Chains A and B, each alone.
Chain A
Amino acid sequence: MKRPVAVVGVGQTQHRSKRADVNIAGLVREAIDRALLDAGLEHKDIDAVVIGKAPDLFEGVALPEQFLAGAVGAHMKPMLRVHTAGSVGGSTAITAATHVASGLFERVLTVAFEKQSEGNAMWALSPNVPFQPKLVAGAGGFFAPHTRAYITRTGAPLHIGPMIAVNARANAGRNEYAHLREPITMEDVMNSPMLWDPIRYLETCPSSDGAIALVVASEEQAKKGPRKPAWIKSAYSYAEPMWIPGRDQVNPLAGRTAAKAVFDKAGITNPWKEIHTAEIYVPFSWFEAMWLENLGFCEIGNGWKIIDRGEQKFGAHLPINPSGGVLNTNPIGASGMIRLGEAAMQVMGRAGAHQVEGAKTALGHAYGGGSQYFAMWVVSSER
């Protein structure tokens, strides 16, 4: 990035299984209005709009940014629509940051959303692609074998997945925007139905309606703003093919490559020590252990041990997903941007009841496709 870029406003909606009180535009606008208010800006101050969401099949509207162009305040402005599967919220925020980094834009609004109650994500994620085996098991059916492979490789005990789910729910209880907030116990998780072995019902993400918007801006604007900004120290999105021989879906090379790039650029040599909190894209419990390794927070094979020792809990050494994460709030297209936005809120010191004490540097992470797309950024309270 040629010049400093900061997050100067964050706004998200109340996330629920069905937001029947708003239509798609109303949902998106709820997040945008809050983000603009947060940044102390108005639509007229915005130079460009970047929209992201996951498959249009979820709502049954093709290219919905076209009908939303008015509602998001993009009329007569530049607008781009991003779609990189589950990582889209992350790559959308990075796309907006690039606008500012280019020197051609001062204030860019970016928004990501999903209104899952309009359709059926299980159906939309069970495609019948020519010349490929028909997958009728949604995302969970696709990813369960990866988590089973992780357990086999590392010898992780089976209680790790449920532990992750219980901790995530406890975290969500502190987040007023989270979709699922009622506490759960290990027993609850273990007794919940097996959906895709080894993933049980309470170890999987919900279907949510929700949106998040960020305002990213230049240094000059950030210094004028009403609040302390979150400085984007580094931001990368990497992808790898689905069918390349030698691919490792448990520990994908694109994820490792993006993590190295994002930490190197931010000048971080030991993420375990130098990152104070991380928002990681965990749609199924075991991915928390897998991504801790993939991101380089520990040696390969040790991710589950961090969880077993409770070092990722709120108030412990490296709080992971203090917001409660994707496991408790999953408007799919928005989920990635919520990770990046929550990381920004932490270093701005504005995460409310789930604020991690002393969080100065944070990671926001998202992934998608068949563990092919990775988007992440490091944000800091220091320029």
Chain B
Amino acid sequence: MSTLRNVAIVGFAQLPVVARDEHHVTTDMIYMAVRQALTNCGVEPGAIEYQISGSTDYTDGRPFGFAAALDAMGCWPPKQDLHLEMDAAFCVYYAWLRMQAGDCDTALVVGHGKTSEGDPNRVANLQLDPYYQAPIGLDLKSTAALQASAYMTRTGTTDRDLAAIAARNRTAGARNPDNQVRHAATAEELLQTPWDVEPLRTGYVPPIGESATCLIMATEEKASALCDRPVWIHGIDQRVEMQTLGARDLSRSASAQLAGQNACAMADLKGATEVDLLELFATTPVEELILCDALGIDPKTARPAINPSGGPLCAHPIMNTGLIRMGEVFRQLSGRADGRAVPGARRGIAHATQGHCLQHNLVCVLGTERRWS
């Protein structure tokens, strides 16, 4: 791997995840997150060269929902800008590419999604191809259940195994004040919850929440002025698979595996086992297991720690969930994780996904030291 520019995350802010924010419209929510992130960096919007947001019109229930972000991101006078119809974690990937191209040294990334405006599960149905898969009524829960069945059949994983993973997330998540679900639960309790879509119980899937998030990035030249402990991008890659569920082995994630290999190679790591913590965008215990398989991690291992934030099972604000993974690794590695800190953490992986059954995966390796000298 040739030498690339060192790029760091220098700030992150999020609104606590809630089921429905009754008091704020999207622009208000974004403004609060942006303001907090800029304040943490000690700068005004004029100090940031580039801005990019991630959201989706269907979640906002309107065309051009992202235009609401322009009123809160601080682009007056006008600024270089982009919007991706994707989880905002993918915006980090593109802002990083722009920095590699030498086009900017600072970037503001925003994620938003006011999910309470609509019915996220119905939107998920409309994400499937309109000819064969959507008409049969599949939605986010039913495709996740298909995937869970495929995985459990192949590996012999039991209901009790899933409950244990959900319980570990829930126990960790109780320490994270930004989570929507903040009460711990035991495996025994979760095993008593009813089927959502068999083999997934209601205790194994998160409620859909809403939030707004803002992450600030800077190149080596600008990072130290914005943050006392910047967290550096060591490697990053993203890969997509075809959507057609019947054409994929749903019990595995080939795209997560490839993205992980490429990100680790860029980071000069032998594998994901060399990091101290993982923040995985896993919305079911089975997704966590499939991602661990793809990254070569034993899910029962104590190190790396998996989802010390509680993960998406405790907070799943659509279009923000991936960016929060990056924000969480930043908090862990920059001494901002408070009661959920992983002791001595120096390297971490943030993962993000999009689409049904882990269709599109992004893996980012982050560290406390600069990657390239």
- Residues of A that sit less than 8 Å from B by CB: 1-2, 23-24, 54-57, 59-63, 65-67, 69-70, 74-85, 91, 95, 98-99, 101-104, 124-125, 127-131, 236-244, 253-254, 257-258, 369-370, 372-373
Contacts and interface: CB of A to CB of B under 8 A. Distances in A.
Contact of B237 (A78, A243, A369): A78
A102 B97 contact: yes
A1 B101 contact: yes
Query: Looking at A60, A77, A239, A244, which has the most chain B CB atoms within 10 Å of its CB?
Result: A239
A257 B79 CA distance: 9
B343 interface: no
A241 B76 contact: yes
A57 B360 CA distance: 22
13 contacts: A62-B56, A62-B57, A63-B58, A66-B240, A70-B243, A79-B238, A84-B66, A91-B82, A237-B81, A239-B78, A241-B76, A242-B67, A257-B78
B218 interface: no
Contact of A241 (B66, B71, B85, B129): B71
Contacts of B168: none
B241 A254 contact: no
Contacts of B80: 236-238
A68 to B, nearest CB: 8
A127 B80 CA distance: 26
Interface string B114-132: 0000000001101111110
A83 B71 contact: no
Q: Sorted from nearest, which 9 A-B pairs have the closest CB atoms?
A: A70-B242, A239-B81, A67-B129, A254-B78, A55-B63, A102-B100, A101-B101, A62-B58, A240-B78
B12 interface: no
A54 B85 CA distance: 10
Contact of A372 (B67, B90, B124, B134): B67
A68 B84 CA distance: 16
Given A60-B126, A102-B101, A253-B77, A84 B82 contact: yes
Nearest to B27: A243
A161 B15 CA distance: 48
Contact-residue bracket for chain B: 35 or more
Given A66-B243, A78-B240, A131-B25, A237 B82 contact: yes
A350 B141 CA distance: 50
B238 to A, nearest CB: 5
B81 A373 contact: yes
B239 A76 contact: yes
A77 B241 CA distance: 8
Contacts of A55: 57, 63-64
B254 A66 contact: no
B187 interface: no
DSSP majority for the A interface?
loop
Interface in B223-282: 237-244, 247, 254-255, 258
B373 to A, nearest CB: 18
A57 B57 CA distance: 8
A125 B221 CA distance: 43
A56 B65 CA distance: 11
A98 B98 contact: yes
A254 B58 CA distance: 27
B354 interface: yes
B41 interface: no
Given A95-B82, A129-B62, A240-B78, A63 B101 contact: no
Contacts of B76: 240-241, 244
A105 to B, nearest CB: 9
B130 A240 contact: no
Contact of A62 (B97, B126, B237): B126
B372 interface: no
Interface in B25-84: 25, 51, 56-58, 62-64, 66-67, 70-71, 75-84
B85 A82 contact: yes
A262 B66 CA distance: 25
Contacts of B94: 80, 95, 98
Contacts of B219: none
Contacts of B180: none
Contact of A66 (B63, B78, B103, B360): B360
Nearest to B58: A62
Contacts of A237: 80-82
